[in-house]
């Protein structure tokens, strides 16, 4: 299995991504969110725009993300680390596309109902967010310490 294969397997199995954001004052904030992906390049999630991570993204869209397997024994874990530019989607076409990706993944994972754009626009409490991933890395499987290697899932 190549390092790229490892990254794809982790992203395919993961259902939560931890967003690492920072506010205007530079104070960091980490938040796990359920996510859906498209072609490993775009990650989508829904959040309240008043949530701290959403407010941070509004003023500082550069974020870091990590998806990891927390089910394995200590010392054997692996993760995909990413850097991205995130945004709340406001363009109707982008929302329609993104909520379709999000809904399909939600239903695939057992949700009873599909998501529609009406659930993330207008008077709805939640909004749709997207991260455009630029860089990916994993821990080097051949080195016993925290050494990251670039991958292209």
- For position 146, what pLDDT does the model report? 84
CATH homologous superfamily, domain 3-140? Electron Transport, Fmn-binding Protein; Chain A (2.30.110.10)
% of the chain at pLDDT higher than 90: 86
Rounded mean pLDDT of 3-14?
95
Q: Give domain limits for the chain.
A: 3-140
Model confidence pLDDT, tens digit, residues 80-90: 999 999 999 99
Q: Residue 116 — φ and ψ, nearest 5°?
A: -130, 165
- For position 142, what pLDDT does the model report? 87
Binned at pLDDT 50, 70 and 90, residue 149 comes out as very high
Mean pLDDT of the chain: 95
From start to end of the chain, where are the E strands? 16-22, 28-34, 36-38, 42-47, 62-68, 79-88, 127-139, 148-150
- Bridge partners, residue 29, by sequence: 21
- For position 145, what pLDDT does the model report? 78
Neighbours of 14 (CB within 10 A): 18
Model confidence pLDDT, tens digit, residues 88-144: 999 999 999 999 999 999 999 888 899 999 999 999 999 999 999 999 999 998 887
The answer to whether 69 and 17 have CB atoms below 8 angstroms apart is no
């Amino acid at each position: 299995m190549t390092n790229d294969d490892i990254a794809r397997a982790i992203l395919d199995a993961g259902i939560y991504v931890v967003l690492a954001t920072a506010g205007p004052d530079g104070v960091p904030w980490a938040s796990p969110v359920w996510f859906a992906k498209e072609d490993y390049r775009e990650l989508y999630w829904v959040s309240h725009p008043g949530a701290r991570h959403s407010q941070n993204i509004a003023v500082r869209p550069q974020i870091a993300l990590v998806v990891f397997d927390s089910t394995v024994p200590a010392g054997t874990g692996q993760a995909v680390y990413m850097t991205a530019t995130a945004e709340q989607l406001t363009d109707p076409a982008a929302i329609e596309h993104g909520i379709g990706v999000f809904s399909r993944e939600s239903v695939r994972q057992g949700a009873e109902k599909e998501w529609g754009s009406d659930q993330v626009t207008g008077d709805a409490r939640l909004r749709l967010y997207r991260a455009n991933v630029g860089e990916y890395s994993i821990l080097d499987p051949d080195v016993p310490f925290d050494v990251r290697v670039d991958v292209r899932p």
